[in-house]
């Protein structure tokens, strides 16, 4: 069970600190508690409620087997996002957002495959056949791809959701996700517009302590969803043998019924064949057969009576 979200924990992490009042976005008014010393203070009770709502949704997505892409390119969030997303085996972008990362995903996948092909070259010895200059160029290309796309190398299809820290900074990511109808989860400060976001978490997106606290709760929910998925798979595997036994027994019964039916058909065919053979014989031939079988009183019998006696 994920740890219960306490307002006290959010307060200690400084999640309630917003931006300067002159920089605020009016759409964030419902989530602002008050203004103090020219700075807006976020209502942490609403933050806790929204965070729980986001946790539940993320848990379901993780349990379904879909990936959640984390995006945070600001300096104070990079290391935290890399650590938290890596702990639950989710892809993340902490360097510059590659334009078309979502809307032109096929091209991005080609770049990732290029990185994999360079790795294969190094393994099979092809890399060593290149000239010194070419090797240097390939190494630089590999390092560049690793820096920008290394964290998404396991993401073979579009993510089930995207989690963003600072929607103002990552506005391109927001637009691409909106275009593809990918659910957006985001830490939204008082200077940002919450309207395009599906699951808003009103919070301080500038302080590393605040980002760490919110992502900690998010990672817990995802981990819980992954654990549920794993448990369901194990249950399915355990149930499989009993199903196979039942199927095997059913198949045996079916085969036995088929054999019985076949035997009955064969006997019936034999009886029919025997009856047809006797009908084609003459009375004298039938009497000879009756004598061989030791049937008495055959001299007075008609052909039909002889056939009946022999059958």
pLDDT band at 251 (very low <50, low <70, confident <90, very high): low
| pLDDT tops 80 at residue 275 | no
Residues 34 and 122 in one domain: yes
| pLDDT tops 80 at residue 137 | yes
Of 293 and 2, which is predicted with more confidence? 293
Q: Which residue range is the domain that position 124 belongs to? A: 7-233
- Give tens-digit pLDDT for 57-77: 999 999 999 999 999 999 999
The CA distance from 140 to 148, in Å, is 13
Residues 209 and 86 in one domain: yes
The conformation of residue 99, written as its DSSP 8-state character, comes to T
Specify the number of domains making up the chain.
2
Residues 227 and 281 in one domain: no
- Give tens-digit pLDDT for 157-200: 999 999 999 999 999 999 999 999 999 999 999 999 999 999 99
Hey, what are 90's tokens? 């989710």
Q: Please give the model's pTM, rounded to 2 decimal places.
A: 0.72
Of 183 and 281, which is predicted with more confidence? 183
pLDDT of residue 267: 42
- The CA dihedral of 5, 56, 205, 153, to the nearest 10 degrees, is 130
pLDDT of residue 186: 95
Residues 224 and 273 in one domain: no
Is beta strand 161-165 parallel, antiparallel or unpaired with respect to 68-71? parallel
Q: Which residues pair with 164 in a beta bridge?
A: 71, 186
3-state secondary structure of 281: coil
Hey, what are 184's tokens? 């957006």
Q: 191, 211, 233: which is the final residue of a domain?
A: 233
Residues 16 and 121 in one domain: yes
Residue for token pair 């001299």 = 299
List of residues 6+ apart from 90 with CB closer than 8 A: 67, 68, 69, 70, 222
Q: Specify if 156 maps to a domain.
A: yes
Hey, what are 283's tokens? 């009375």
Residues 148 and 218 in one domain: yes
Of 144 and 259, which is predicted with more confidence? 144
- Give tens-digit pLDDT for 192-224: 999 999 999 999 999 999 999 999 999 999 999
Q: CA dist 55 to 5, 185, 269, Å?
A: 10, 10, 72
Whole-number mean pLDDT of the chain?
Answer: 84
Q: Specify if 29 maps to a domain.
A: yes
Of 301 and 158, which is predicted with more confidence? 158
Q: Specify if 240 maps to a domain.
A: no
């Amino acid at each position: 069970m994920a740890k219960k979200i306490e307002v006290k924990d959010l307060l200690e992490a400084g999640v309630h600190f917003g931006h300067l009042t002159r920089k605020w976005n009016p759409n964030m008014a419902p989530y602002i508690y008050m203004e103090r010393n020219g700075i807006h203070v976020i209502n942490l009770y609403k933050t806790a409620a929204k965070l729980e709502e986001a946790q539940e949704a993320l848990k379901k997505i993780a349990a379904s087997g879909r990936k959640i892409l984390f995006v945070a390119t600001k300096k104070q969030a990079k290391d935290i996002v890399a650590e938290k997303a890596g702990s639950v085996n989710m892809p993340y972008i902490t360097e510059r957002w590659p334009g078309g990362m979502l809307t032109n995903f096929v091209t991005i996948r080609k770049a990732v495959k290029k990185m994999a092909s360079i790795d294969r070259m190094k393994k099979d010895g092809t890399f060593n056949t290149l000239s010194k200059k070419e090797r240097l160029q390939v190494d630089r290309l590999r390092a560049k791809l690793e820096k920008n796309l290394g964290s998404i190398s396991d993401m073979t299809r579009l993510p089930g959701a995207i989690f963003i820290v600072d929607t103002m900074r990552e506005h391109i990511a927001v637009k691409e996700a909106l275009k593809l109808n990918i659910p957006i989860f985001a830490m939204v400060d008082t200077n940002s517009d919450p309207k395009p976001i599906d699951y808003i978490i009103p919070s301080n997106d500038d302080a590393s302590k605040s980002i760490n606290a919110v992502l900690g709760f998010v990672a817990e929910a995802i981990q819980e969803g992954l654990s549920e998925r794993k448990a369901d798979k194990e249950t399915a595997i355990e149930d499989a043998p009993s199903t196979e036994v039942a199927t095997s027994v059913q198949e045996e019964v079916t085969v036995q019924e088929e054999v019985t039916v076949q035997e009955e058909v064969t006997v019936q065919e034999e009886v029919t064949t025997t009856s047809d053979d006797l009908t084609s014989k003459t009375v004298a031939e039938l009497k000879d057969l009756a004598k061989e079988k030791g049937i008495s009183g055959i001299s007075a019998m008609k052909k039909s009576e002889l056939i009946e006696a022999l059958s």
